[in-house]
Amino acid sequence: MQAYEAYIDISSEVREALEKGKPVVALESTIISHGMPYPMNVETALTVEKIIREGGAIPATIAIVQGRLKVGLTHEEIDRLGKAGQDVVKTSRRDIPFIIAYKLDGATTVASTMIIANLAGIKIFATGGIGGVHRGAEHTFDISADLEELGRTDVAVVCAGAKSILDIPLTLEYLETKGVPVVGYQTEELPAFYTRKSGHGVDYTIQTPEALAVALKAKWDLDLHGGIVVANPVPKAFEMDFDTINHAIEHALKEANTRGITGKESTPFLLAMVKELTGGDSLRSNIELVYNNARLAAKLAVAYTKL
């Protein structure tokens, strides 16, 4: 028995799938507690799980519930996190031991979801967008722990690129330094969350989940540790106007600076303000890109388990 097994509860469905070599897709829980209001957050989380199942894989939503690392939440646990909202602790790598020690509920970020998924043996993870280097980081040193985790943990992260509120060029530079490949799925340009384009290229473009699965297996078979960013553009029908979203982001950044909002509180604040400034259009875009990422992640998990 590994020491970490004393802290982790894997649902019977997820455990059986892993033991039988069936495809499993990890899902984060910050989007439930901090991403949108109740009950929309719960409805979205359950729809994402449904999409994963329809794609032939088993969903494993990850969180910490009363100090236990949970891989595969029940509907009741998802509802618990959704109702509690921002009272649930937003949990990254540094927070995990203390959430356990105090038997708290923790909503897992990209970084902590990667850690727990890796402990469980899950290699594919679907989310909205990754964190990164924040604008003005040359003064604040505000850099998401997601980037460090991508440099060390063997999990592929299917996302709609880096969040638009970030400094995307610096985020790409950081990922390059950490040896993390940024792969565009059927695109040569890194998507920027709400928009399909950012003006910055990806390292590689891959056209099929099968080709991507081969690359993942080769990377990890060769002990080239670390994750891969799988950048999957938001569907065109739900893409936001580039100028509109960037104007909203600039306004939100100024407001955050005025209020002195920094660190892990900055992303929820900025996304909420962008939602307000766009009349809710950004939230619809956010939901649809998560659904789109779930579809691709299921296909990728199926392809990976066949190798």
Question: What residue type is assigned to position 18 of the chain?
Answer: L
153 within a domain of the structure (yes/no): yes
- Catalytic, 163? Answer yes
Stated pTM of the model: 0.93
Angstrom distance (rounded) from CA 132 to CA 195: 17
106 within a domain of the structure (yes/no): yes
Q: Which two tokens stand for residue 241?
A: 């106007």
CATH at 29: 3.40.1790.10
| pLDDT, average across residues 43-49 | 98
| pLDDT, average across residues 117-137 | 94
Q: Which two tokens stand for residue 229?
A: 């960013």
275 within a domain of the structure (yes/no): no
110 within a domain of the structure (yes/no): yes
- Catalytic, 28? Answer yes
pLDDT digits (tens, 9 = 90+) for 134-179: 888 877 788 999 999 999 999 999 999 987 778 999 999 999 999 9
272 within a domain of the structure (yes/no): no
pLDDT digits (tens, 9 = 90+) for 224-283: 999 999 999 999 999 988 888 878 777 877 887 788 887 667 777 777 777 777 767 788
Q: Which two tokens stand for residue 243?
A: 């100028």
Domain enclosing residue 63, as ranges:
3-239+283-305
147 within a domain of the structure (yes/no): yes
pLDDT digits (tens, 9 = 90+) for 282-304: 888 999 999 999 999 999 999 99
Q: Which of 55, 54, 73, 59 lies closest to 10 in space, CA to CA?
A: 73
Angstrom distance (rounded) from CA 194 to CA 187: 15
Angstrom distance (rounded) from CA 227 to CA 147: 9
C-alpha 204, offset from chain centre? 20
From 90, 163, 275, 299, the catalytic residue: 163
- Number of domains observed in the structure of the chain: 1
120 within a domain of the structure (yes/no): yes
Angstrom distance (rounded) from CA 58 to CA 23: 6
* Pairing mode of beta strands 58-65, 68-71: antiparallel
49 within a domain of the structure (yes/no): yes
